[in-house]
Amino acid sequence: MKLFQAIEQRRAIKHFEPNAKMCEADFTQMMNAVLLSPTSYNIQHWRFIRITDTKTRLKIKEAAWGQQQVEDASEVIILCADTQAWSDRPERYWANADHQTQAILLPMLDTFYTQKPQTQRDEAMRSCGMAAQTLMLSAKALGYDTCPMIGFDTQAMADIIKLPEGHVISMMITIGKANKAASQRGGQLPLSQVLMDNSY
Amino acid sequence: MKLFQAIEQRRAIKHFEPNAKMCEADFTQMMNAVLLSPTSYNIQHWRFIRITDTKTRLKIKEAAWGQQQVEDASEVIILCADTQAWSDRPERYWANADHQTQAILLPMLDTFYTQKPQTQRDEAMRSCGMAAQTLMLSAKALGYDTCPMIGFDTQAMADIIKLPEGHVISMMITIGKANKAASQRGGQLPLSQVLMDNSY
């Protein structure tokens, strides 16, 4: 599928075919595409929790206030991030770079993130956002639909997936075969209202 | 360009052809694609500051610690968000929905965002992340390269673009014609290290 088609056809789908499966080859192709999304300093701090267990899926549905698409989707993925990944063996993020480059990057990373919890958290949300859009467009190109979700009890979700300290949940994405099309787009603001030249 | 090609070929480019321009039709097509990225409740809280003024561009380069790609890029866009957009005439985000749907959505929005500054900020970073990836893939499909940037003095940047209260800067993207290819990818973590089944 062409890029612009995927962008235009991607809509948040809330009604999935309950018996549809995503084939493993498609899942892997989608996730490998996701891993090509950018992260600052290539820290790749995203972590993806794929819900394959039926009981866990139902707990997650409950944490998401009973939203049916969580039960009916072919796949459910929780997008999380390790906000401390920048300090966890960072050399591995630049394994292919020469030692000189590594020697420049290491202190930059320290300066940028040390004792800056808001910067670390912003980065987690931003990177997961970029990864999420890659995931949703890839799913679309492979013939699936998605729903990006933030409507859930974050603490309940953290308990279910055993979220470790220093990690955050960014969002959830359900993936499946739509059995009801999305409504027309809600009411898009024109470009002129959200694009400004040089300053507000 | 096909979606997966765009994903694979998108790299952070730091060296742009200084005299290259992005034609206006391409810019508009790219931005219109960006506006099809999802936002929660369709609040479309993103705001894009396009730097067209040369003096402003040089100030931004300075705020970005002199990084040359800011000067040489064909376009520079600062991705911001209005963290209070959820409370600013929200009916317009669902103008095409019926009154019943609007009546359900309004109190949901209030409950979700009222007096939750971290939720508002997370949402800004996440939405700008999704928009950013749409922007970078669209630019790639149109024959341009991009560099996503967070390496700048946020306060200096806010002053330059006259960022209003309640708004945040998420990131900057430079767009142009590459005159030096990216190095090989830094050191990608295998999927098995970032994907988990059901829980950490």
Encode pLDDT of A155-183 as tens digits: 999 999 999 999 999 999 999 999 999 98
- pLDDT in the model for residue B117: 97
The rounded distance, in Å, linking the Cα atoms of A162 and A121 is 19
- pLDDT in the model for residue B72: 98
- Name residues whose C-beta falls within 8 Å of residue A179's C-beta, 6 or more positions apart in sequence: A15, A16, A17
H/E run at residue A171? strand A167-176
Which of B 118-157 lie inside 8 A of A, CB atoms?
A: 121-123, 125-134, 136-138, 140-141, 148, 150-151
At A173, the amino acid letter reads: I
* B10 contacts A36 by C-beta, under 8 angstroms: yes
Q: What angle do CA A130, A134, A136 make, to 5 degrees?
A: 115
At B190, the amino acid letter reads: P
- pLDDT in the model for residue A59: 98
* Strand arrangement, sheet containing A195-197: A195-197, B46-50, B75-82, B167-176, B145-149
The Cα of B172 is separated from the nearest Cα of chain A by a number of Å equal to 12
- pLDDT in the model for residue B123: 98
- pLDDT in the model for residue A52: 97
Q: How confident is the model at residue B44 (pLDDT cuts 50, 70, 90)?
A: very high
Which of B 32-61 lie inside 8 A of A, CB atoms?
A: 32-33, 35-38, 40, 42, 44, 46-53, 56
**CB–CB contact A96 B138 (8 Å):** no
**CB–CB contact B129 A128 (8 Å):** yes
Q: Residue A4: its chain B contacts at CB < 8 A?
A: 29, 33, 138, 141
ipTM (interface predicted TM) = 0.98
CB burial of B101-115 (b: ≥16 within 10 Å; e: otherwise) equals ebeebeeebeebbee
Residue B79: closest CA among B21, B140, B130, B7: B130
Q: How far apart are the first and last CA of chain B?
A: 37
**CB–CB contact A186 B33 (8 Å):** no
**A25 touching chain B per CB within 8 A:** no
- As beta bridge partners, residue A50 has A77, B197
- pLDDT in the model for residue B118: 97
CB burial of B46-63 (b: ≥16 within 10 Å; e: otherwise) equals bbbbebeeeebbebbbeb
**B180 touching chain A per CB within 8 A:** no
- pLDDT in the model for residue A37: 98
The single residue listed with the structure tokens 């894009």 is B48
pLDDT lower than 70: segments of chain A: none
**CB–CB contact B196 A121 (8 Å):** no
- pLDDT in the model for residue B136: 98
Number of alpha helices (DSSP H) and beta strands (DSSP E) in chain B: 8, 5
Listing DSSP states for A144-157 in one string gives -EEEEE--S-HHHH
Overall pTM > 0.90: yes
- pLDDT in the model for residue A4: 98
> What mean pLDDT value characterizes chain B?
97
Task: For residue A2, give the DSSP letter.
Answer: B
**CB–CB contact B184 A92 (8 Å):** no
- pLDDT in the model for residue A118: 97
Q: Residue B146: its chain A contacts at CB < 8 A?
A: none
- As beta bridge partners, residue A63 has none
**A76 touching chain B per CB within 8 A:** no
Q: Sign of dihedral through CA atoms B174, B179, B11, B149?
A: negative
Task: For residue A178, give the DSSP letter.
Answer: B
What six digits make up the tokens of A5?
């088609």
Residue A100, Cβ density class (10 Å: 0-12 exposed, 13-18 middle, ≥19 buried) = exposed
**B17 touching chain A per CB within 8 A:** no
Listing DSSP states for B115-171 in one string gives T-HHHHHHHHHHHHHHHHHHHHHHHHHTT-EEEEE--S-HHHHHHHHTPPTTEEEEE
H/E run at residue B173? strand B167-176
Q: Residue A136: its chain B contacts at CB < 8 A?
A: 38
Encode pLDDT of B54-106 as tens digits: 999 999 999 999 999 999 999 999 999 999 999 999 999 999 998 998 999 99
Encode pLDDT of B100-142 as tens digits: 989 999 999 999 999 999 999 999 999 999 999 999 999 999 9
The Cα of B23 is separated from the nearest Cα of chain A by a number of Å equal to 16
* B147 contacts B13 by C-beta, under 8 angstroms: yes
- Name residues whose C-beta falls within 8 Å of residue B133's C-beta, 6 or more positions apart in sequence: A37, A129, A130, A131, A133, A134, B37
- How many beta-carbon pairs under 8 angstroms link A with B? 245
At B59, the amino acid letter reads: K
Mode of pairing for the β-strands spanning B195-197 and A46-50: parallel
**CB–CB contact A126 B128 (8 Å):** yes
Phi, psi of A169 (to 5 degrees): -95, 130
**CB–CB contact B32 A191 (8 Å):** yes
Q: How confident is the model at residue B147 (pLDDT cuts 50, 70, 90)?
A: very high
The rounded distance, in Å, linking the Cα atoms of B141 and B179 is 17
**CB–CB contact A126 B125 (8 Å):** yes
Listing DSSP states for A65-116 in one string gives TT-HHHHH-SEEEEEEEETTGGGS-GGGGGTTS-HHHHHHHHHHHHHHHTT-
Nearest CA in chain B to A8: B36
